[in-house]
Amino acid sequence: MLADKLYDAVNANGHVCVGLDTEITYLPEDYLKSFESEGEAIISFNKAIIDQTYDLAACYKVQIAYYEAMGLAGMRAYVETLRYLREKGCMIIGDIKRGDIQKTAGMYAKGHFQGDFEVDWVTLNAYMGVNDSLEPYLEYVDHHDKGIFVLIRTSNNGARDFQYMQDDTGKTLYTNVGEKLQALAEKHLAKCGFSGIGGVVGCTNNESGVALRNTVKNMFLLIPGYGAQGGGAKDVAPYLIHGNGGVVNASRGIITAYRKMGGNPLDFHHAARQATIQMRDEIWREIK
């Protein structure tokens, strides 16, 4: 099952999920000048990053919005990036954050688990109801070796607007969401003990992190917030179980690492490799 594959990838390569949230301004100016179009530059940039990190990363997260914003050229870059990741044997999270019901959700599932936009995992929002908005994806989880990461508690400051609201018993909304998702995850367990029903839990805003992890104990976690958003290895550790069960995303911190490391900007891919190694080792040291 897919969760077993991700579990094995973490054991082999570490916890880093490289985020290819590639905005055109992230590319070195001299690099960009060598291409006839921004779309071609994005494709080449992503491939260079992948070539230098695929032996270090557990998986890759590709945020579709960065490509949608470029129109058809951007979506071609998205497709080509996914294709290249598959050629390298990499596991892909399509960061699409869809959240609709029934027939529409079914179309999103088909669109991102089949065809040109096919990925291994997608990110989802269950605000419209766990059963209504997630059920159309479960066919792919059970029969097509796919997985979902559902928003539970996010890493942004605005998370407190709604996610921290409490019911009459003092239980937060994100805890209620986690409990419902855990019940669903238990029905889709892989051999490793984790599920193809995963959750998104930021490593910032991490009060009661251990309690939340105990609530969603069988869910593989996608953990954003590391690096540019202020999270570090100590913030990640509470969300891992025996050193596994989670992948930690870093996007800008890796793909724009050349800006902090100095040297020739055209060596951006080598800087990305060094940033990935540094992040991987920091997490390993913390959990060991």
Give the pLDDT confidence score for residue 103 in this predicted structure. 94
Give the pLDDT confidence score for residue 205 in this predicted structure. 66
In angstroms, the Cα distances linking 184 to 138, 178, 199, 250 are 10, 10, 11, 28
Residue range 96-121: mean pLDDT, rounded:
96
In angstroms, the Cα distances linking 68 to 39, 177, 224 are 11, 29, 21
Host domain of residue 207: 2-287
The phi, psi pair for 199, rounded to 5°, reads -135, 155
pLDDT band at residue 207, thresholds of 50, 70 and 90?
Answer: low
pLDDT at 228 over 80: no
- Tell if the pTM clears 0.85, that is, is over it: yes
Residue range 186-213: mean pLDDT, rounded:
89
Give the pLDDT confidence score for residue 150 in this predicted structure. 97
Is 97 an active-site residue?
Answer: yes
Q: To which residue do tokens 């998370």 refer? A: 159
Options 88, 97, 110, 180, the catalytic residue: 97
Q: What is the DSSP letter of 239?
A: G
Beta carbons of 283 and 248 less than 8 angstroms apart: yes
pLDDT at 186 over 80: yes
Residue range 160-165: mean pLDDT, rounded:
82
Residue range 145-164: mean pLDDT, rounded:
88
Give the chain's mean pLDDT.
94
Give the pLDDT confidence score for residue 158 in this predicted structure. 83
Please tell me the total count of domains within the chain. Answer: 1
Cα-trace Rg, the chain: 18
CATH label of the domain that carries residue 25: 3.20.20.70
Question: Which of 172, 181, 182, 176 is closest to 205 using CA atoms?
Answer: 172
Give the pLDDT confidence score for residue 230 in this predicted structure. 72
Residue range 21-26: mean pLDDT, rounded:
96
